[in-house]
């Protein structure tokens, strides 16, 4: 077995297969765009807190309109770029099986928290079918960003707690997206 593997690798090397790569290639534009998105979101949230109590922090303010328009466009662009990196669906189901012991406590905690509050978030896990791994990570960030706008629209302003929750969620999603995009750097 070992001998066959060695022979195979020798043949592969001599045939010119000097390096292999699985998954999507690294895209510096997406990397830069993610950093820029995170920075502008942090600045926006800080500005909303500094202006809390006046019209500048409202959902309808010019600053809010400008931020949501530009950040949504940036996320759409990243989704498009990421989708063009590879048309191979992210094989995360296989990793899910291996990661189940690590994953279960988090999912159970989510279930318990929802049950405790009498809430059930619907399951739309099929919506990421066909996406490569980078696109899945950016899509999750896009969903998190939609929550920020939905909160702002619903409450009119972002309270300190709501801003903190959205800031934390977006930071986590950006970190996961960056790590995914940089896997093959």
Partner 1 sequence: MNPNQLASQMISEASQVAINSWNAIKSTAVTEFRGLSQRIVMIARLYAQGEISKAGARRHFKAARYHVIAILAMLTALVEAAAAKIVNAALKVIADAVNAAIGFKLV
Binder to partner 1 among 46, 55, 113, 156 (CB under 8 A)?
A: 113
In three-state secondary structure terms, 32 is helix
CB of 56 to partner 1, least distance (A): 21
Tokens for 160, please give them: 């300190």
Binder to partner 1 among 53, 62, 87, 94 (CB under 8 A)?
A: 94
Note whether 57 binds partner 1 by CB under 8 A: no
Cα Rg of the chain, angstroms? 21
Please list the alpha-helical segments (H only) found in 86-159.
Answer: 92-117, 133-155
Binder to partner 1 among 41, 134, 156, 157 (CB under 8 A)?
A: 134
CB of 50 to partner 1, least distance (A): 19
**CB nearer partner 1, residue 68 or residue 139:** 139
Nearest Cα to Cα of residue 149 among 39, 41, 77, 56: 41
Rounded CA separation 171/45 (Å): 12
Note whether 122 binds partner 1 by CB under 8 A: yes
**CB nearer partner 1, residue 62 or residue 126:** 126
Tokens for 52, please give them: 């809390």
Note whether 47 binds partner 1 by CB under 8 A: no
**CB nearer partner 1, residue 64 or residue 134:** 134
State the residue for tokens 């409450």: 155
**CB nearer partner 1, residue 44 or residue 139:** 139
Taking each continuous run of H as one helix and of E as one strand, the counts in the chain are 6, 0
Query: Hey, which residues between 143 and 162 contact partner 1 (CB under 8 A)?
Result: 143-144, 147, 150-151, 154-155, 159, 161-162
Rounded CA separation 52/64 (Å): 13
């Amino acid at each position: 077995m070992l001998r066959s593997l060695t022979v195979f690798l020798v043949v592969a090397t001599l045939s010119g297969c000097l390096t292999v790569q699985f998954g999507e290639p690294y895209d510096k534009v997406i990397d830069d765009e993610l950093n820029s998105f995170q920075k502008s979101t942090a600045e926006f949230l800080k500005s909303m807190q500094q202006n809390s109590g006046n019209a500048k922090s409202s959902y309808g303010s010019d600053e809010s309109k400008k931020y949501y328009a530009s950040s949504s466009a940036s996320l759409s662009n990243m989704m498009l770029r990421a989708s063009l990196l590879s048309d191979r669906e992210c094989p995360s189901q296989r990793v899910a099986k291996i990661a189940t012991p690590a994953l279960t406590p988090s999912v159970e905690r989510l279930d318990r928290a929802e049950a405790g509050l009498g809430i059930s978030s619907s399951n739309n896990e099929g919506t990421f079918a066909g996406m490569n791994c980078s696109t899945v990570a950016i899509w999750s960030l896009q969903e998190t960003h939609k929550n920020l706008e939905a909160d702002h629209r619903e409450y009119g302003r972002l309270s300190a707690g709501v801003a903190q929750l959205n800031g934390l969620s977006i930071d986590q999603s950006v970190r996961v997206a960056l790590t995914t995009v940089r896997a093959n750097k």
